[in-house]
Amino acid sequence: MKRLAVYCGSATPADPVYIEAARNLGRSLAERGIGVVYGGGKLGLMGAVADSALDAGGEVIGVIPQALVDAEVAHRNLSELHVVETMHERKARFTELADGFVTIPGGTGTMDELWEAMSWSQLGYHSDPVGLLNIAGYYDHLIRFVEKMGEVGFLRPQHQNILIVANELDTLLDRMAKYEPHVPITRMTRADL
């Protein structure tokens, strides 16, 4: 993996565990020679990931919609800053620039990015690993929900391992490096559907 798209919040929660985890992620990726592709913002966890990766000598590419540039939240000191018109273009650019996806805590925008990465994987639009770093149990309920989708039958058995989950970054990156792409819906037979 040469670059990972990092999905996370633009907020800074009161509990310092989240901002520290974001800083650790950025620094750790840079130390491993893995570039960061992220939402291009300077605030919250997004800014912490970017700044710590840059401080460690890493490559950081931001992808941000013009509306957020206009709102003055763009990080101007990145390796590259791609300005796009829409959120859809932003997510498509993440997929073009990255070799995998890591989600850390965030809100609705982060969830939108994670779900799209999973959905696009299921459909075969990309075959890259989709990781979820479950910091301080933040995603416990979401992990259970994904399991429930499989139990009920809304997530096919072939796709139940799209989301790679770990509580520790080293474990997550190791699992992502070993990821074997599944058979996407677009290559399944009617009997498999």
What torsion, rounded to 10 degrees, do the Cα atoms 103, 139, 142, 67 define? -40
Predicted local confidence at residue 135, as pLDDT: 98
Query: In one letter, which amino acid is 180?
Result: E
Q: What DSSP line would sit under 100-128, residue for residue?
A: -EEE-S--HHHHHHHHHHHHHHHHTS---
> 7-21: per-residue pLDDT in tens?
999 999 999 999 999
Predicted local confidence at residue 192, as pLDDT: 73
> 117-172: per-residue pLDDT in tens?
999 999 999 999 999 999 999 999 999 999 999 999 999 998 999 999 999 999 99
> 23-39: per-residue pLDDT in tens?
999 999 999 999 999 99
Closest to 113 (Cα-Cα) out of 87, 74, 84, 140: 87
Q: Domains of the chain: which residue ranges?
A: 3-192
> 160-182: per-residue pLDDT in tens?
999 999 999 999 999 999 999 88
Q: Which CATH architecture has domain 3-192?
A: 3-Layer(aba) Sandwich (3.40)
The pTM (predicted TM-score) of the whole model is: 0.94
DSSP 8: -
What CA–CA distance (Å, rounded) separates 184 from 171? 25
List of residues 6+ apart from 26 with CB closer than 8 A:
6, 36, 48, 49, 50, 51, 52, 53, 54, 56, 58, 60
CB 176 within 8 A of CB 131: yes
